[in-house]
Structure 1
Amino acid sequence: MKKIAASLLDFYTRFLTRTKVVARKHLFSENAPLVKLWHQQSGDWHWLAEKKMPIASINRHLWRLSVPSLSFFFLLGLSGIISTLGLLADSVAVIIGAMIIAPLMGPIIGVAYAMVVGNRRLLRRSSLTLFTGVMLTIAISFLTMLCVGLQVVGSEVLSRTNPTLIDLGVALAAGAAGSFANSRRRIADALPGVAISVALVPPLSVIGIGLALGEQQITIGSLLLFLTNLAGIIFSGSIVFLLQRYGSLEKAKRGLVASFLFLFLLGLPLGLSLKNLLVQENVRRNVSELIRRRTLTFADRDIRSVRVQAQGDQLFVELEVAAPFGSISEHQIDLVRDFISDELQQDVKLIVRMIPVDVFVAPFE
């Protein structure tokens, strides 16, 4: 038995050795087909090697982006108008268009770079441009909302009033991408995508809308979202500039500590908001499952949407159902509410919105 095992081990060892020799000869040697093909197709491409911009060039580039010029304010003003109208119309395409033309990303990246290299003049200039741009966007959105005269807002506005840690993650990634793209001439085409991903102007427009409506919750929620985006972009942008050896850690230490502490403070409400969102989504799924599968009233109905909102120990459930007029009685709604309340051990307020459906049947002739 031992001789058989020893023979098998010897065979396995010689097999591995021969396999390595063959692989080295046919795959990695100078005469190997794959190596020949690589050399034939590679050519002399050193001129395509990607290099970071020299310090003098990136200084000029970011200084231009941070100057409060007529073009900056004109494009930002138009972006604010387009964004506000898109939010009021619940049009995602219009909102994306506003993000593309907004030049607000430039001075924010300028702040991140100035922190790293210790350029106080650029820091002051970028901060001033950023501040005036923010105030201009809020003011234009406020005036646009007053001119339109709407008193209700849609889902696009409300979706920007409850930021979570997910939004902070997007801001951190977008800041890193923006800093890297601004330090490479060849990938400047990626900047519109960065602007779309982080969405700086829509939260400012929502602040203006909230001020025009006098809705404090909308204003504070959208302000928190904008501060989250701003702090995330500056922090991650500074890190990327440092990793590319722009500036030094000694010069960037104060700015990094301040932005990190600000992010930490923002993380507390953002984490709580994310927790509430997850809890609310779990409750919504449970309620939807109970209504669709365990009630006779809605088992065969066309339920268009299920919305759930928790306020303390109370649960507000809103259903939108397509059904013929008079097919569901108020007594049935009360029974469903009592059933959900017993299953979840919570006080439930059930609101059912009926969408009238007329059914016409043409009989056989």
Structure 2
Amino acid sequence: MNYRFRKTIVKSKRHIEKFWNQNSGDWHWLSEQPIPIASLNRSLWKAAVPSFQFYFLLGLSAVISVLGLLAGSAATIIGAMIIAPLIGPITGIAYSMVMANRRLLRRSCFTLLTGVLMTVLISMAIAYLIQLRTLSSEIIARVNPTLIDLGVAVAAGAAGAFARSRRSIADALPGVAIAVALVPPLSVIGIGLANRDLNIASGATLLFFTNLIGIIFSGGVVLLFQRYGSIERARSGLAISIVALSLLGLPLGFSLNNLLIKANVRRAVVTLIRNQTLTFSDTDIRSVRVQPQGEALFVQLEVATGLDSISERQVQLVRDFLEQKLEVPIHLNVQVIPVRVFQAPATSGGSTP
């Protein structure tokens, strides 16, 4: 009986192994060993070299990025992210942090710093020459970072470090570059400086440092778990990263809280206006913008409706209604897009126009 039982177990094990080998496909990387320390060291040392190729690619990326931002083209900005080589020296910083490699740290920091300055200056020069004062949605989207952006940076940094340590999934690095989006915030800094708009420049600066610190921290942790370096060597670097993340968490958390408040208020405003007012019940509400102003709320509506269908008195009544329901002072601004409707009833016979 025992013999038959053991034979059944062995047979089942062979069937399972055969099934796994035939159907595992690309899942073999799970059992793949990290590349040797010497190989990774050479790879990151090469990626951190302040070479002509690095600055040439980064310069082209800056040009593409600033033009895409000014034009509001997401596809163009993605192209700039793909060719940007900044992820190389940043991963070098994370690696040197866990390995306590001061030479690689100095080289990576120098390459990163000069690359950042070059990107900002190129973006600033192009924005100054074009003199396009209107801010596209792609620019505005990069001036109010939140904890969500930090989460993206941490995940992308972990993915980048893991891909660096595995030869079979190195193709994932372009995707990591897109997720991290290092060059667009630098281009927005240049645009803000060219337009003398410190709010734009400071917001984009916060986003860049959020991405930078998030990548370095998570990249270092992943490399540490891949048995590169040691806790003793990485202690000081990780401590600095954690302190930096904590300091960033304050403004990012505040920004996220404001974002949630604005979203909730916007939802409440739209619901009240659509369902509980006669003035806007039959109008086409194109956009709603809600902005806190101290203890009050600034609400801007863009509606499409017929000529003379909304009066100033009706807008005042809607404002009073919103203040009563939301229990906060409301400044209501309504922009009306006039709509004229022409109708051509059907005829029994066709006619030539």
TM-score, normalised to structure 2, is 0.92
Matches of 1:99 and 1:27 in 2, distance apart?
57
Residue 167 of structure 2 corresponds to residue 185 of structure 1: yes
- The CA distance in 2 between the partners of 1:306 and 1:99, in whole Å, is 31
Cross-structure match for 2:10: 30
* Residue 346 (structure 1) shift: 1.6
State the match for 2:81 in structure 1.
99
SS in 1 for 2:10: coil
Is 2:24 the counterpart of 1:42? no
When residues 110 and 344 of structure 1 are mapped into structure 2, their CA distance, relative to the original with a 3 A threshold, is same
Distance 1:82 1:283 in 2: 37
Which of the pair has more CA radius of gyration?
1
Does 2:299 correspond to 1:317? yes
1:39 partner amino acid: K
> Separation in 1 of the partners of 2:209 and 2:126?
23
Give the 3 Å change call, closer, same or farther, for CA 324–259 of structure 1 in structure 2: same
Cα offset for 1:28?
Answer: 6.3
What CA distance in whole angstroms lies between the structure 1 residues aligned with 2:66 and 2:215? 23
The answer to whether the aligner puts 1:209 opposite 2:200 as a matched pair is no
- The answer to whether residue 133 in structure 2 is matched with residue 151 in structure 1 is yes
In structure 2, relative to structure 1, the CA distance for the partners of 1:26 and 1:146 (3 Å cut) is: farther
| 1:27 Cα deviation after fit | 12
Partners of 2:200 and 2:133 in 1: CA distance = 13
Preserved contact between residue 27 and residue 35 of structure 1 (Cα < 8 Å) = no
SS in 2 for 1:359: coil
Q: SS of the counterpart of 1:245?
A: coil
CA spacing shift, 1:339–1:120, aligned 2, 3 Å: same
Report the equivalent of 2:90: 108
1:136 aligns with 2:126: no
Kindly provide the amino acid, as one letter, of the partner of residue 284 in structure 1: R
For the residues of structure 1 that align with 2:118 and 2:124, how far apart are their CA atoms?
Answer: 10
Partner amino acid, structure 2, of 1:350: L
Q: Which residue matches 2:334?
A: 352
What root-mean-square deviation, in Å, do the aligned CA atoms of Structure 1 and Structure 2 show?
2.1
Matched with 2:67 is 85
Aligned partner of 1:160 in structure 2 is: 142
* Deviation by residue 1:241-293 (Cα, 9 ceiling, x = unmatched): 11111111111111111111011011111111111111111111111111111
The SS at the match of 1:30 is helix
Question: Could you give the per-residue CA deviations for residues 139-162 of structure 1, whole angstroms, max 9, x where no partner exists?
Answer: 011011011111120211111111
Secondary structure, counterpart of 2:300 in structure 1: strand
Q: Separation in 1 of the partners of 2:147 and 2:223?
A: 24
Shift of 1:355: 2.2
Q: Report what 2:324 is aligned to.
A: 342
Within-5 A mapping of 1:240-255 = 240-255=222-237
Per-residue displacement from partner, 1:17-67 (whole Å, max 9, x unpaired)?
xxxx9xx969963345x8537437737x9x975221111110110011111
- The alignment partner of 1:250 has SS state of helix
Task: Indicate which of 182, 185, 190 corresponds to 1:200.
Answer: 182
Whether the aligned pair in 2 keeps the contact of 1:84 and 1:202 (CA below 8 Å) is: yes
**The 10-residue stretch of structure 1 (237-246 or 345-354) with the greater mean CA deviation from structure 2:** 345-354
Contact residue 28 and residue 35 of structure 1 kept, 8 A: no
What is the aligned partner in structure 2 of residue 263 from structure 1? 245
Aligned with 1:131: secondary structure? helix
**AA paired with 2:315?**
I
Which has the larger displacement, 255-264 or 324-333?
A: 324-333
Counterpart secondary structure, 2:240: helix
Contact kept in structure 2, 1:319 and 1:353, CA below 8 Å: yes
**Could you list the runs of 5+ residues in structure 1 that have no partner in the other structure?**
1-20
User: Which residues of structure 2 form unaligned runs of 5+?
Assistant: 348-353
- 1-side partners of 2:7 and 2:182: how far apart? 51
**TM-superposition CA deviations, 1:208-252 (whole Å, max 9, x none):** 011011111111111001001100100111111111111111111
Contact 1:174 1:233 in 2 (8 A): yes
Q: How far did residue 189 of structure 1 move?
A: 0.7
- Aligned partners of 1:66 and 1:129 also within 8 Å: yes
Candidates 324, 329, 333, aligned match of 2:311: 329
Cα-to-partner distance string for 1:143-190 (whole Å, 9 max, x where unaligned):
110111111202111111111111111111111111111111111110
SS in 2 for 1:52: coil
- Distance, in Å, in 2 between the alignment partners of 1:312 and 1:300 is 32
| Distance of 1:268 and 1:327 partners within structure 2 | 46
What is the TM-score normalised by the length of structure 1?
Answer: 0.89
- Matched with 1:54 is 36
Structure 2 CA distance for aligned equivalents of residues 175 and 120 of structure 1:
21
Q: C-alpha distance in 1, partners of 2:19/2:247? A: 57
1:279 to 261, 267, 282: 261
Q: CA deviation at 1:364?
A: 3.8
In 2, the alpha carbon distance for the partners of 1:356 and 1:249 equals: 67
With over 3 angstroms needed to count, the CA separation of the structure-2 counterparts of 1:122 and 1:299, relative to structure 1, is same
SS at 1:262's partner residue?
helix
Percent of aligned positions with the same letter in both sequences? Answer: 59
Q: What is the letter of the counterpart of residue 294 of structure 2? A: G
